[in-house]
Amino acid sequence: MAVTQFGDVRVERCHKRVRAVLAGQTVADSRRTLLVWERPYHPVYYFPRDDVRTEFIGEPTRTERRDKLGDAHLHALAVGEHEHPEGVVTYPDSPVAEIRDHLRLRWKAVDSWFEEDEEIYTHPRDPYIRIDILPSSRHIRAEAGGVTVAESHHPHLLFETGLPVRYYLPKTDVRLDLLVPSDTVTRCPYKGTAEYYSLRVGDTEYRDVAWSYRTPLPESQKIAGLVSFHDEKLDLVVDGAPMRNEA
């Protein structure tokens, strides 16, 4: 199916096999899912009704009005004692005709998601997002409170569609004695799980100013173990030119 546009809503056929698993049961398994951009940030999956184990889905418990998609019918999703009270959304009378016979499983209502045989995290991958990680000889310096906390001529530059360039530095070029592990963890469907660090310079603490991917996803292996800094939270100088701080 070609891309279909309904105002701000875009619908496109996904050619990957997509599965959703809850409590050891595959509740949805389809080679005919739709990618639907309800919002511009990233798509969500919609499954054909025939590819969903509907015995795990209850009758609608309530309805919400959605400006772009029509009336959203909210259903419980339950496998044994594992239940999400509003884990499934349907739009049987939507003005977007392609989704009327489809169901959307909310991401956190199931335990695991798979594209083909690879588990994915956070949200579906957007086919229009690209990541390039390139080794570079640019001179990168990170400063906080007038103190140089990292300096390198061997960064890797990560270019991700629609986002600022991020500079990943070898740990040997970072003042690790100034970094304090944080409890903050974020997940990205393209890079994996990031562990964060705060920075302590004198009596000042810069919260969650740096992050690293210990074991990134296969397509992002080049940044494994490297450290990147928020130029929004400290001063980052690239080839002698200060980066614009937009915090």
Question: pLDDT tens digits for 3-18?
Answer: 778 778 999 999 999 9
Closest C-alpha to 105, from 153, 146, 46, 150: 46
- Whole-angstrom Cα distance, residue 171 to residue 227? 6
The CATH number for 4-120, chosen from 1.10.150.20, 3.20.20.70, 3.40.50.300, 2.170.150.40, is 2.170.150.40
- Per the structure block, which two tokens stand in for 25? 């049961």
Superfamily of domain 131-242: Domain of unknown function (DUF427) (2.170.150.40)
Alpha helices per DSSP H over the chain: none
How far apart are the C-alpha atoms of 200 and 180, rounded to whole Å? Answer: 7
At 5 the pLDDT is 80
Q: What is the mean pLDDT of residues 79-99?
A: 96
Count of other CB atoms within 10 angstroms of residue 240:
7
Q: Where does the pLDDT of residue 2 fall: very low under 50, low under 70, confident under 90, or very high at 90 and above?
A: low
In 3D space, the residue among 170, 159, 152, 153 whose CA is nearest the CA of residue 225 turns out to be 170
* 240 secondary structure, DSSP code: T
- Buried b or exposed e, range 165-201, using 16+ CB within 10 angstroms: ebbbbeeebbeeebbeebeeeeebbbbbebebbbbbb
Predicted local distance difference test score (pLDDT) of residue 7 = 79
Q: What percent of the chain has pLDDT over 90?
A: 89
Per-residue confidence (pLDDT) for residue 99, from 0 to 100: 96
| From 132-146, 201-215, 233-247, the region with the lowest mean pLDDT | 233-247
Task: For residue 125, give every residue at least 6 positions away whose Cβ sits within 8 Å of its Cβ, in sequence order, or none.
Answer: 115, 189, 190
> Structural domain boundaries of the chain?
4-120, 131-242
This prediction has a pTM of 0.85
- pLDDT grade for 247, boundaries at 50, 70 and 90: very low
Q: Which two tokens mark 12?
A: 């496109």
The tens digit of pLDDT for each residue in 164-213 reads 999 999 999 999 999 999 999 999 999 999 999 999 998 999 999 999 99
Q: How far apart are CA 107 and CA 111, in angstroms?
A: 9
pLDDT digits (tens, 9 = 90+) for 49-58: 999 999 999 9
Backbone angles phi, psi at 138, to 5 degrees: -60, 150
What's the rounded mean pLDDT across residues 75-89?
A: 97
